[in-house]
Amino acid sequence: MNTAPPKVDVAAAPVRRRFCAVTVRAIEDLSPRMRRITFHGDSLESFGPPRPGSHIKLFFGDLPPGWQPVPGQPRPTSRTYTPRHFDPARRELVVDFVRHGEGVASQWAEQAHIGSPLMIAGPGGGQVLPEDLRHLVLLADESALPAVGTILDSLPAHCLVTLIAEVEDATDQRQPSANRSTDVRWLLRSTSRAAAGSLLLQAAKGLSLPPGAMVWVACEAGAMREIRNELLNEAGMDRSLLVTRGYWKAGATDHPDHDTGE
């Protein structure tokens, strides 16, 4: 019997950016702290398809139609997000925004209306999960739930899923994927005034992983590093089966989208 762990293909290589001018077509509040915005634009004909867990750049500011970056010239303020859904036939792109009340992206999402323009670049990154993967464990906070949804959407039916999600309170609880019903262990910071990522770290210390299980972690960057250390150095997990991402960093703005904790 072949007992070698499944190969995890992480797409970390840079890709050529596609710059797409879009406008807001629809706005939906998924919860008090999550707003879903659907973008539309003919330029999305050249977009995608995005991989599970991939990222895009959103550019903010009063940009002229047809704007393209010029080497050596300053770029407008940008932030990194997950493309939650993409419909090439309708040329629609869905992005979920955490409504935390601070930062250029959150403030833009609060003020957005039908027809609001935006420039989007991407997609890039993401990963291809092994077809023979039998068990996937996901540890994520609310910033990573859109990416979790894309991963769940892509999984084969035979893959078992354990999802541990840290959010502020019970109003943030929702199924991250409409295509796959998943049991979620919800960790609520509000009940204990816990610091961001600390409940995920506690959960990681109590994980019991079956052989060959893959673990995907995405949350605050400092907590992600602690979880990574716990799984690799304390639990002795196979490095090839662990994917870690720092989606944001406490006290920082525009945290790099390539923070893997290594």
Side chain identity at residue 158, one-letter code: H
* Domains of the chain with CATH codes: 19-125 (2.40.30.10), 127-248 (3.40.50.80)
Separation in Å, CA 232 to CA 132, 153, 154, 222, 242: 23, 27, 26, 16, 8
Q: Give which of 45, 53, 51 is closest to 18, Cα–Cα.
A: 45
pLDDT score of 3 more than 70: no
pLDDT for 90-117, tens place per residue? 999 999 999 987 789 999 999 999 999 9
Sorted by sequence, the CB contacts under 8 Å of residue 118 that are 6+ apart come out as 21, 22, 23, 24, 39, 58, 59, 60, 108
Would you state the pLDDT for residue 17?
60
At 196 the three-state DSSP class reads: coil
pLDDT score of 221 more than 50: yes
pLDDT band at 179 (very low <50, low <70, confident <90, very high): confident
| Range in 24-33, 65-74, 83-92 the model is least confident about | 65-74
Sorted by sequence, the CB contacts under 8 Å of residue 202 that are 6+ apart come out as none
pLDDT score of 10 more than 70: no
**Joined tokens for residue 19:** 């710059």
Q: Give which of 261, 258, 260, 262 is closest to 13, Cα–Cα.
A: 258
φ/ψ of residue 166, rounded to 5: -100, 125
pLDDT score of 131 more than 60: yes
**Joined tokens for residue 191:** 């009940």
| Range in 34-38, 101-105, 133-137 the model is least confident about | 101-105
The C-alpha atoms of residue 251 and residue 247 are separated, in whole angstroms, by: 13
Would you state the pLDDT for residue 1?
36
The C-alpha atoms of residue 164 and residue 203 are separated, in whole angstroms, by: 8
